[in-house]
Amino acid sequence: MSATGLPPDLLARLDDLLGSGGLLTDEADCAPFAIDWRRLFPGRPAAVARPSSTAQVASVVGLCREAGITLVPQGGHTGLAGGATPDASGRQLVLSLARMNAVRALDPVGLTMEVEAGCVVQAVQAAAEAAGRLFPVSYGAEGSAMVGGMIATNSGGINVLRYGMTRNLVLGLEVVLADGSVVDGLRALRKDNAGYDWKQLFIGSEGTLGIVTAAVLRLVPRPRHTETALLAVPDPEAALRVLAAAQDGLGDTIQAFELISRCSFELLERYAGLPSPLPPSPWCILLETGSTLSGLRDAVEGTLGEVLERGDAVDGVLAESKAQAAGLWGLRERITECEAHQGKSVKHDVSVPIPAIPAFLEAADRALAEGAPGTVPNVFGHMGDGNLHYNVLIGPEHDSAAINRLVHDVVDRFAGSISAEHGIGQYRVDELARRRRPEEMALALRLKRALDPDGLLNPGKVLRV
Ligand code: MLT
Ligand code: ZN
């Protein structure tokens, strides 16, 4: 073994293959790849391989396979579950897809776009916008997150309500398998029912079944009119009534329906100096609608008028300009960052049936007050998808694993999911095993063994293998 934890002949062959800047072995150079941005999942890579083509990815996998070295695929490293971080052994190779960042093709009529895994999500959005189209996946980390990670984690974000998760927006996929072979399914077809839809296996598999190297993404027509409003609501029941009114009055123009608690606004003011435009309220809703047709503003004003008159919303602001709308979204998107400034928190990414949200919140608050006194829930998230980030601010005296279990126990009572959009990574491996049915876990294991029999790809993520 060399100082990096890799056999010297493997290092030499990787160096040869990847050329200048393609292989990082120096500890300082590898440091940014060793830990997630929240600094919760530290690891120690043996080295970092930075291939610039699919063929190079396949060769790296082939070489590692021969040498019995495990690989951790990594994109923008913005995940919230530690899925792209190596373990502490110093024997895993991080495979960064960042150099594979080409937009290969864009078809504005067929509404498709072929991109490489290292493309930053924001760059994909910008390319679509330049062609007058929309790539709808959007979330706070989009300036760093990459397509490969977006697909590997089936990421969600703020537009899922209208356009679905990443899975709904992937038409074709190219993956490198654990045996080093390349499967090219880069078809730009909107309908393709020929045989197994195998790409679905890799979407959301967090790099444990194969390595995504390129994809054909689905674009949508760009709404020419958008309306963004922030509404103060007295309680989650009222928020549900506002959602129903929006569904009635605004139909499928609703793009986002986000719930934000007062705690989140307090953190925004304290750590980002961003005050809410509305007086303090226990809950707020951030609603966005979009349409290519005119008349949207009247419809939104009508719905807002209705919910204000009924008292389901007690106050509200409808953005008058793009800048004002961006300001409202700026609040929503900086909650996570402000939460991190505040100190330690236990993150949750749960979903429950939408009508059960008020009862879930009440039950979770009660469980927390009884089981972990002194903790503070910081709740926000994608209420229109039934997905809440029921994050818990804790002090040094609190046991984060116990709080995690306590909140997930409540989720189970409502037949919910312990990860709606962030994935399992290493953070939720034990919780997944504890809560999924044994037959589901056995099936997952069979898939893993079939596709990666030697356990080379991202071991310890999603499953304990
Ligand atoms: C968000 O919706 O802002 C993130 O997915 C949630 C988080 O930071 O917990
Ligand atoms: Zn989220």
Give the domain-ending residue among 169, 190, 221.
Answer: 221
What residues of the chain score a pLDDT lower than 50?
Answer: none
Same domain, yes or no, for 369 and 296?
no
Residue 118 belongs to some domain of the structure: yes
Of 179, 194, 221, the domain-final residue: 221
Query: Distance between CA atoms of 245 and 250, rounded to whole angstroms?
Result: 8
The CATH number of the domain holding residue 12 is 3.30.43.10
Check residue 333 and give its pLDDT: 94
Residue 68, SS3? coil
Task: Tell me the pLDDT tens digit for each residue of 128-150.
Answer: 999 999 999 999 899 999 999 99
CA nearest 201: which of 404, 464, 462? 462
For residues 207, 213, 217 and 222, what is the CA-based torsion angle, rounded to 10 degrees? 100
Q: Measured in whole angstroms, how far is the alpha carbon of residue 292 from the centre of its chain?
A: 27
Same-domain check for residues 327 and 372: no
Provide the residue count of the chain. 465
Range of the domain at 348: 343-428
Whether residue 236 sits in one domain with residue 211: no
Question: Parallel, antiparallel, or unpaired for β 112-116 and 103-107?
Answer: antiparallel
Residues 109 and 212 in one domain: yes
By the 8 A CB rule, do 53 and 172 touch? Answer: no
What pLDDT is attached to residue 1? Answer: 55
Confidence (pLDDT) at 2: 62
Domain end (from 336, 365, 395): 336
The answer to whether the beta carbons of residues 2 and 23 sit under 8 Å apart is: no
Angle 423-424-430 (CA atoms, 0-180°, nearest 5)? 160
Centre of ligand 1 to C-alpha 353, Å, is 19
428 lines ligand 1 (CB under 6 A): no
Nearest ligand 1 atom, CA 349: 9
For residue 347 and ligand 1, the question of a CB distance below 6 A is answered with yes
Q: Do residue 195 and residue 107 come from a single domain?
A: yes
Domain membership flag for residue 76:
yes
Domain presence at residue 291 = yes
Whether 459 is covered by a domain: the verdict is: no
Residue among 37, 422, 427, 428 whose CB has most ligand 1 atoms within 8 A, to mutate: 422
**Residue to mutate (ligand 1; options 144, 263, 349, 385; most atoms within 8 A of CB):** 349
- CATH label of the domain that carries residue 154: 3.30.465.10
157 and 84 in a single domain? The answer is no
Does residue 158 sit within a domain?
yes
| Same-domain check for residues 169 and 274 | no
Same-domain check for residues 316 and 332: yes
Q: Phi and psi at residue 27, in whole multiples of 5°?
A: -55, -40
Q: Report CA(202)–ligand 2 centroid distance (Å).
A: 21
Contacts of 204 (CB under 8 A, 6+ apart): 152, 153, 154, 166, 167, 423
Residue 450 lies in a domain: no
Kindly state whether residues 169 and 137 are assigned to the same domain. Answer: yes
Residue nearest to atom 7 of ligand 1 (CA): 336
Same-domain pairing of 115 and 211 = yes
Q: How many domains are contained in the chain?
A: 4
What are residue 283's DSSP bridge partners? 233, 261
Q: What is the per-residue pLDDT for 38?
A: 83
Q: What is the pLDDT of residue 37?
A: 84
Could you tell me the two tokens for 19? 């050329």
210 domain-assigned: yes
Report which protein residue has its CA nearest ligand 1's atom 9: 389
What is the rounded distance in angstroms from the CA atom of residue 116 to the CA atom of residue 339? 32
pLDDT for residue 255 = 97
Clarify whether residues 312 and 353 are in a common domain. no
Q: How far apart are CA 4 and CA 48, in angstroms?
A: 10
ipTM for this model:
0.96
Nearest ligand to the CA of 145 is 1
Is the same domain home to 57 and 25? yes
E strands, 2-152, in order: 23-24, 45-49, 71-74, 92-96, 103-107, 112-116, 133-134
Question: Does residue 348's CB lie within 6 angstroms of at least one atom of ligand 1?
Answer: no
Q: How crowded is the C-beta side of 115, counted as CA atoms within 13 Å? A: 32
**Cα dist from 293 to 55, 249, 286, whole Å:** 45, 15, 22
Alpha carbon distance 40, 266 (integer Å): 24
CATH number of 422's domain: 3.30.70.2740
In a domain, 12, yes or no: yes
CATH of the domain at 288: 3.30.70.2190
